[in-house]
Structure 1
Amino acid sequence: MNNHQVRFRPVGAMSVIALVSLLALSACAGDDEDSAGVDPASIDRTAAPPGADEQGEAATADTVAGAASDDGAVSTGGGASTLDPTAGRLLVVDVTVALEVPDVGAALPEVIEIAGRHDGLVYGSDVTLDRDAAGDDRSRGTVTIKLPPAAVEPAIADLDALGDLVGRYQSSDDVTDRVTDVETRIVSAQQSVDRVQQMLAAATDLGEVVMLEGELTARQLVLEELLAAQRNLRNGTELATLTVDLSTASPAEEPEATDVAVEADDDRSIGDAFATGGRAFVTAATAVLMFLGYVAPFLAVALVVAVVARALIRRRPARRSVPLPSPTTPPPAPVAPAVDDREAEPVS
């Protein structure tokens, strides 16, 4: 029995050693697999010095901003980007400014010169040179300029140097959708014209040729209208409209005479009051006399007419009045004599 136990103990020890070795190998294999499955970014963060994360994020943001700027965004640096809402849009810009200048006639050539300086053209002008009764300049004018949209602000800055910019109005009309719609319709109209031309080339019957020529003319007319609309829209987006309203500065208003009179009334004396009353009386009497002088001719004519009318009325014979017959009154009815009762009684 002792030999049996001695013989089996080495076998148990070897089994334990083998089991431990297998577990160790499994653990090593698991560590290798975990190491192989770690995110490279986490390894970089672990091995990188302090502050490397911020630098990496900034570099990534700069890369994204650069890519966005290639797609039409405006990069501002430092990893920030701002989208331009008007990028790729077709806008019709219309700006009107009101400018007060010392002399409208002298400012007009300078406005035209500013338009040419900024690649603009004067499309129209309406200027009126005038002075009021006091001799003050009341001239006004309007100048319409077509120029590139990017040159509008520099041109307004130069116009401001001519006088005082007292007003400004700006409007923008987005015609991108209209331009796209017109272009699509142009393609369809052109294809329609091409088809009719092909049919016309293959036609042999005279009636069919006449019908196709009329249809071709109508479709070409539609195509020309669409092309004209496209040109107008393109011209409106390529050139902005700048309208300049010129006027002279208004003269300083003088104090009203009533204000001066009120200030003078504060220092009046009794003698001034009598003098003012006398002047008022003379003014009223003069007004009455002038009124009588105005109406005297009319009164004289009216008096002559009244005298003549009265004389004519007196010379007319008076009409005789015929007395009306008086109504006849019937004679009074006879009255029966009174009978005395005593006489009427018989004598017994």
Structure 2
Amino acid sequence: MRADARATILFLVALIAGCGSGDVPVYTTQFPAFGTRVDLSIVGTQRERAANAAAKVKRDFAFFDQTLHGHGAEYMRHLNAQLPSGEPFAAPPSLIRLLARSQTLFSASDGLFNPAMGRFFQLWGLDRANPASNPPPDQAAIDALLDVQPTMADLELDGLELRSNNPAVQLDFDMVATAHAMDLAVNALRAQAVHSAMINVGGDVRAIGSRSGRAWRIPVPRASGSGVIGILDVSGDASLFTASAQQRNFRYRGEVYHAVLDPRTGRPACGVLSATVLHEGDGLTAAAAAHALMIAGPDDWPRIAGRMGIRYVLLIDEGGRLHMTPAMAELLELLDTDAEQVIRSPLESSF
């Protein structure tokens, strides 16, 4: 784990540590998944029941880590091998909801969130946790994929049957795999009568309930990935996800190439260093929106935020300016008060 990520997590743990009175039980545990550390805190639940709930969460994370995360994950390898045939086949039941929701989010994002572009990630060598510092692909190779334009709209999902109308479709859910696992973890916790909990995976957070009647205090990372730019107080049902140029990248001849690929150009998105989304609900929507807004860039993000129903947005552009919605500007306890701020509302959408 990078030192800056560790520092952010330690900061979060410190915030949680002082969250309640001595009469309120707090159960915390850590375990590895998705190439990082998962921190789980359960508040207000008897220890034995909390430990049992945490064990279920750990098993679920291990399952999705093995099936969704990284190049060659078992389920994804098997699924992607069948897509080019154009014939219908039985998709793994555990992936049906993720496939269906991803199609909806693809449409809502105007195609900017597109897990069907796995061949682009392979072309760039960004389909693995630690990409090698190889030369970027030739423009001709990028153009060849752009000509066949694989998208989530090429997939037909009928019950458990899946087929692709485009042999170029290859699915890569790395951008939302942790969010999906966190959403299922929250469902599992609720099923075991856990009403207040926080899950942190590498700085992305899924929270429900409260910390002993008070809001959870969630740190928002800087665009550099080092340190915290502000704090958000949230309670109820909340997800905070960040897409960043610092995630899954490589450097070649002084230039950084990251894994937030623009499906319109086949190249890493430019203009924005990071996009953070707070969503009052599921993590999958928040993670998909963060990626879509980073791709949309400093000019077009309000339109995409409006289409996706996102109220709380923070973008940091390449000049260090903070682009925020009014709701985010009001809620964010900003630590870097000298940064230039640009406040814009999401555009109304009929989507």
- Is the helix fraction higher in 1 or 2? 1
- Provide TM-score, normalisation by structure 1: 0.17
